[in-house]
Structure 1
Amino acid sequence: MLHFLPAPLLGLLASLMLALNTLICCWPLFAVSLLKLLVPVPAIQRVLRFVMHGIAEFWISVNKFWMNMVRRTEWNVQGLQRFDMKHSYLVTSNHQSWVDILVLQYLMNKRLPFLKFFLKQELIWVPMIGLCWWALEFPFMKRYTKAYLAKHPEKLGQDLATTRKACARYKTNPVSVFNFLEGTRFTPQKHAEQQSPFKYLLKPKAGGIAFVLDAMGEQLHSIVNVTIHYPGGNPGFWDLLSGRIGEVVVRFEELPIPAEFIGQNYDQDAAYRLQFQQWVNQLWEAKDAELERLHAEFPGKD
């Protein structure tokens, strides 16, 4: 609709729509969240969670509206039709850009239960958005280095405790628990520093999804394995706002959760940890091969 406008003007308009959409949606979200805190009745809290998820889904729907206004992006998507809103899923994807999150929300909104991302604890201080994530019960994780844990062993296992606490809230409502296995966005510099054995991926970090399976494995229906490819090159957030993303290729794959991974302890069982890491590496090898095929089929600009 607005595709004829110059890119800088499109970016400004999209930024204003995103900001206005966020300001309008955050206040009813905060009000319902406060009510949920004041009324500790499980049945009522369950209803209020559905209301909050509805507000968040409306926010995503408005974002889809302005994304369509600034650019007629060509979406090449396969495999999404096999999922529903009635089950809980563990979702993972390769990570190339901040745009990935809005792409996933664009495609999965009202087709799978509301996505809950694992976030770095520092992101809770992002103005307005951080409070929205907190109200929506996104899990905030604080990572510790091995050197820090050696000096403060009491912090060992805190990530698992945080994950369990977050996942315990999800038992009354269907949810899609999301984790970027790479932990950070792919860049050539990070790829070189890691000496990653994969061509299009960073090394996966198995602990995040292992903790989710430990905390709520029996509740999860299956794993949603997502592969994202941008034929025009990995976009920045301004590229999305200014309508510069011409094509997005996304593949969804449903994977069963191996029964032997249910009820295990990733932190304390070394044999299981090795087995799980090998399984994740095989998953990543298959994803790297899938990206190889997508780059060949949709070459664009590497």
Structure 2
Amino acid sequence: MLASLPVFLRVPLVCALLIVSTLLHVLPLFALTLVRLAIPLAAAQRVIGVGLVRIAESWLSINGWLFGVFTRTRWRVEGVDGLALRGNYLVVCNHQSWVDIPALQKVFNRRIPFMRFFLKSQLIWVPLLGPAWWALDFPFMKRHSRQELETRPELRGKDREATRRACEKFRHLPVSIMNFTEGTRFTQAKHDAQGSPYTHLLKPKAGGVAFVIDAMGDAIRDMLDVTIVYPDGPGTTMDMLAGRIREIRIHVRRLAIPPEMRGDYENDPVFRERFQGWVNELWAEKDSRITAMQQAAQKEPL
């Protein structure tokens, strides 16, 4: 019934409810974070950390429910059976839209351990959300341009060190680490500028995946290879709330990380070439999968 409301009523209403949900969850999240800062004992830190994740999971659950009742978006999800809340996963995914993040959270919330994303350092200043991400131990990364690295070579490797520090926190608790392997959202202009060999994807950046696998060691053994397709084309979160995203298809493939894909990506050129070949092969398979998913969507009437 709520999805049938006129857009001029539905969008403001769902936005207001999302803001209320955010406030109701962020305020206790901040309060519990202050308690964690005041009690540095390791045992207390673990218990409080679990409490913070439970608040976040409730927040995502309510947001997902709101998306469900206020939109008519049809979801086609494959491959989520048999996933474990107590396992550790590296989640890799193609990236097309800001809708990717709430879509992944809706599909995986309470199916796998709470997902952490590597975020740009500037995002910590986003009102409410930035501090909430910090409280939930989302790693913030400061990206350096090629010009910066040329003028200040001491900055080289800082992202890798930050990745290692973040992953060290996650070695002792169930966690899912999310990686958009293309490094940016797909656009045709970016695709053409790269000369990407794939039809639907940008070139994958294998280094970030390799660093996470190396830093987590044996604590992470499985990868979730996730493919998102918007049959009518990607849109914004507002497009979704307004009912302009009619369907989202998500395919999940669970893969064991091969032992030979663990190594020193930065200093071992033989390993680096082997790892890049593996990721490129995964990306070629994903490219073909996107074509098949789009074709399947065209054959099924909405």
Query: Residue 277 of structure 2 corresponds to which residue in structure 1?
Result: 278
- 8 A contact 1:116–1:138 mirrored in 2: yes
Which residue identity is paired with 1:250?
I
Query: Residue 92 of structure 1 corresponds to which residue in structure 2?
Result: 92
For 1:251 and 1:217, the matched residues in 2 are separated by 26
Unaligned runs of 5+ in 1: none
- 8 A contact 1:89–1:175 mirrored in 2: yes
Query: Residue 37 of structure 2 corresponds to which residue in structure 1?
Result: 37
Which residue identity is paired with 2:24?
I
Once the two structures are superposed, residues 220-241 of structure 1 have per-residue CA deviations (whole angstroms, 9 ceiling, x without a partner) of 1300000011112112111122
Query: Residue 175 of structure 2 corresponds to which residue in structure 1?
Result: 175
What's the Cα RMSD here?
1.3
For 1:132 and 1:110, the matched residues in 2 are separated by 19
Counterpart mapping for 1:13-28 below 5 A: 13-28=13-28
Secondary structure of the residue aligned to 1:197 is coil
Query: Residue 164 of structure 2 corresponds to which residue in structure 1?
Result: 164
Tell me whether 1:288 sits opposite 2:287 in the alignment.
yes
Which residue identity is paired with 1:32?
L
For 1:166 and 1:30, the matched residues in 2 are separated by 20
For 2:186 and 2:125, the matched residues in 1 are separated by 24
Query: Residue 299 of structure 1 corresponds to which residue in structure 2?
Result: 298
Secondary structure of the residue aligned to 1:40 is coil
Which residue identity is paired with 2:249?
V
Which residue identity is paired with 1:115?
M
Secondary structure of the residue aligned to 1:54 is helix
For 2:276 and 2:199, the matched residues in 1 are separated by 19
For 2:187 and 2:9, the matched residues in 1 are separated by 28
Tell me whether 1:8 sits opposite 2:12 in the alignment.
no
- 8 A contact 2:199–2:287 mirrored in 1: yes
Which residue identity is paired with 2:298?
P
Q: How far apart are 1:43 and its partner, in Å?
A: 1.6
**TM-score between both structures, scaled by the size of structure 1:** 0.95
Counterpart mapping for 1:41-120 below 5 A: 41-120=41-120
For 2:86 and 2:279, the matched residues in 1 are separated by 26
State which drifts further: 5-14 or 119-128. Answer: 5-14
For 1:197 and 1:291, the matched residues in 2 are separated by 14
Which residue identity is paired with 1:231?
P
Number of matched pairs = 299
- 8 A contact 1:39–1:45 mirrored in 2: yes
For 2:125 and 2:267, the matched residues in 1 are separated by 33
Query: Residue 227 of structure 1 corresponds to which residue in structure 2?
Result: 227
Query: Residue 188 of structure 1 corresponds to which residue in structure 2?
Result: 188
State which drifts further: 33-42 or 252-261. Answer: 33-42
For 1:191 and 1:82, the matched residues in 2 are separated by 35
Secondary structure of the residue aligned to 1:174 is coil
**TM-score between both structures, scaled by the size of structure 2:** 0.95
Which residue identity is paired with 1:157?
G
For 1:19 and 1:99, the matched residues in 2 are separated by 17
Q: How far apart are 1:122 and its partner, in Å?
A: 1.1
- 8 A contact 2:116–2:175 mirrored in 1: yes
Distance 1:208-1:8 versus aligned 2 partners, 3 A rule: farther
Q: Using the aligned pairs only, state the percent identity.
A: 45
Unaligned runs of 5+ in 2: none
Secondary structure of the residue aligned to 1:185 is coil
For 2:102 and 2:152, the matched residues in 1 are separated by 37
Secondary structure of the residue aligned to 2:178 is strand
- 8 A contact 2:71–2:241 mirrored in 1: no
Query: Residue 201 of structure 2 corresponds to which residue in structure 1?
Result: 201
- 8 A contact 1:200–1:288 mirrored in 2: yes
Q: How far apart are 1:8 and its partner, in Å?
A: 3.0
Secondary structure of the residue aligned to 1:186 is coil
Q: How far apart are 1:155 and its partner, in Å?
A: 1.2
- 8 A contact 1:71–1:244 mirrored in 2: no
**Superposition misfits of 4+ residues, deviation over 3 angstroms:** none
Which residue identity is paired with 1:244?
R
Secondary structure of the residue aligned to 2:34 is helix
